[in-house]
Amino acid sequence: MASVRVELGSRSYDILIGSGLLRAPESFAGCARARASALVVSNTTVAPLYLETLSQALRGQFARVLHCVLPDGESYKDWRTLNQVFDTLLQERCDRRSVLFALGGGVVGDMTGFAAACYMRGVDFVQVPTTLLAQVDSSVGGKTGINHPAGKNMIGAFHQPRLVVADVDVLRTLPARELSAGLAEVIKHGAIADAGFFGWLEHNMPALRALDPQAVAHAVRRCCEIKADVVARDETESGARAMLNFGHTFGHAVEAAMGYGNWLHGEAVGAGMVVAAELSLAQGLIDADAARRLRALVQAAGLPLRVPQLPVARYLELMRVDKKAEAGEVRYVLLAGLGAALLRSLPDAAAAAALQAHGALAHAG
């Protein structure tokens, strides 16, 4: 088992990574409260697979273990579904000492974390990510929230978990498409922060897609280390943390344009990284070989290389309402070579050219 520490003063916490963690009570010893309630929040896909295993591991450590099973999918990441968690907490008279457990992927993690942030103005929660994407990215760093029809994650909070338990065994039940989506965030971490890890990924992508346990554990650990370092330097995204959004400005626009859930987040980020690399190339920040290597790695992960054939104006419109935009000005995360990133404000025409080079239509219709 590996352990990565996220250093945030009184809000510091550990990420445990390894095999067999879910069924081991020791994994959760750090958050045990003999007189309090545990509420495990999961979804209809994950609950039949792992809810009882996790509950069994928790039963000796809490006065009672409660369940709340949500519908599965990004399209349910809204207030109505979130309210199911509040209803359960209040019906069961859960007090401020209760601990919420997010058993699932990014949607379950974001919603459970936001419920924990808001319930009685804040209770503790633990991330138990069951998708690769959640293990390498969304379960770490404390970003929580729900979607609004006008934008993804527009309503939320920074609320750090007390513990993250990433059991790589659970990835065996993950559909191949979800695995590829998670690999997008793995590639992202290499591209923005670690050229050596990027090279390792180029050699080990087949092993990762075959779920070789050692390869997967290494990738999860390295991503968590990179993310923990960035989050420790910039908890609330006022600076360095923005680099983690490489591929996301374009990706969020794809997700919003297609309706949440039709493209997986990781798929949208995959194509978004290709567009962002194109933009970096056009700005003279990387050479054609680096852009080619990024495209090849995205393709090797089984991810789309092109954004949907929608008018480029639609993409630009959606990007202007993204959270990262200020006064309608979009700041792009660009590559400054493989393994380094920077932020730059650019005219619409530059982004439009990069989008059109990878699938967007020049004109409506």
- Residue 245: active-site member: yes
Please identify which of the residues 121, 203, 326, 363 carries the catalytic annotation.
121
Judged by CB, which is closer to its own copies: 145, or 190? 145
Judged by CB, which is closer to its own copies: 35, or 363? 35
Judged by CB, which is closer to its own copies: 95, or 289? 95
Judged by CB, which is closer to its own copies: 167, or 237? 237
Find tokens 């404000």 and name the residue. Answer: 345
- Residue 121: active-site member: yes
User: How many angstroms separate the CA atoms of 227 and 234, rounded?
Assistant: 11
Question: How distant, in Å, are the alpha carbons of 67, 220, 340 from that of 165?
Answer: 18, 12, 28
Site for its own copies in 128-187 (CB under 8 A): 143-145, 148, 150-151, 153-158
Please pick, from the candidates 9, 10, 121, 347, the single residue that binds its own copies as defined by CB under 8 A: 121
Q: Interhelix angle for 288-300 vs 265-282, to 10°?
A: 170
- Asked whether position 191 contacts its own copies by CB under 8 A, the answer is no
Q: Minimum distance between the CB of residue 56 and its own copies, rounded to whole angstroms?
A: 23
- Residue 248: active-site member: yes
Please identify which of the residues 74, 178, 185, 267 carries the catalytic annotation.
185
Residues with Cβ within 8 Å of residue 176, at least 6 apart in sequence:
209, 302
Judged by CB, which is closer to its own copies: 52, or 95? 95
Structural contact between residues 112 and 137, judged by C-beta atoms closer than 8 angstroms: no
Half-sphere exposure of 314 (CA within 13 A, CB side): 20
Q: Interhelix angle for 312-320 vs 348-357, to 10°?
A: 130
- Residue 237: active-site member: yes
Please identify which of the residues 74, 178, 237, 267 carries the catalytic annotation.
237
Please pick, from the candidates 59, 97, 177, 292, the single residue that binds its own copies as defined by CB under 8 A: 97
The per-residue DSSP string of 120-144 comes to TT--EEEEEE-SHHIIIIITSS-EE
Residues with Cβ within 8 Å of residue 120, at least 6 apart in sequence:
95, 96
Radius of gyration of the chain (CA): 20
User: How many angstroms separate the CA atoms of 98 and 94, rounded?
Assistant: 6
Please identify which of the residues 43, 74, 77, 143 carries the catalytic annotation.
143
Site for its own copies in 194-223 (CB under 8 A): none
- Asked whether position 236 contacts its own copies by CB under 8 A, the answer is yes
Please pick, from the candidates 1, 86, 299, 300, the single residue that binds its own copies as defined by CB under 8 A: 86
Please pick, from the candidates 31, 117, 164, 354, the single residue that binds its own copies as defined by CB under 8 A: 117
- Asked whether position 9 contacts its own copies by CB under 8 A, the answer is no
Structural contact between residues 329 and 321, judged by C-beta atoms closer than 8 angstroms: no
Among the residue ranges 54-62, 89-97, 211-219, 277-285, the one whose residues contact its own copies (CB under 8 A)? 89-97
Please pick, from the candidates 9, 203, 288, 328, the single residue that binds its own copies as defined by CB under 8 A: 328
Judged by CB, which is closer to its own copies: 3, or 236? 236
- Asked whether position 118 contacts its own copies by CB under 8 A, the answer is yes
DSSP state at residue 163: E
Among the residue ranges 118-126, 215-223, 242-250, 263-271, the one whose residues contact its own copies (CB under 8 A)? 118-126
Find tokens 């420790």 and name the residue. Answer: 232
Structural contact between residues 246 and 273, judged by C-beta atoms closer than 8 angstroms: yes
- Asked whether position 106 contacts its own copies by CB under 8 A, the answer is no
Find tokens 């510091």 and name the residue. Answer: 12
Burial code of 180-210, b = ≥16 C-beta within 10 A, e = fewer?
Answer: bbbbbbbbbbbbbbbeebbebbeebbeebbe
Instruction: Point out which residues bind its own copies (CB under 8 A).
Output: 35-36, 63, 79, 83, 86-87, 90-91, 93, 95-97, 117-122, 143-145, 148, 150-151, 153-158, 236-237, 320-321, 323, 325-328
The catalytic residues are: 121, 143, 185, 227, 237, 241, 245, 248, 252, 265
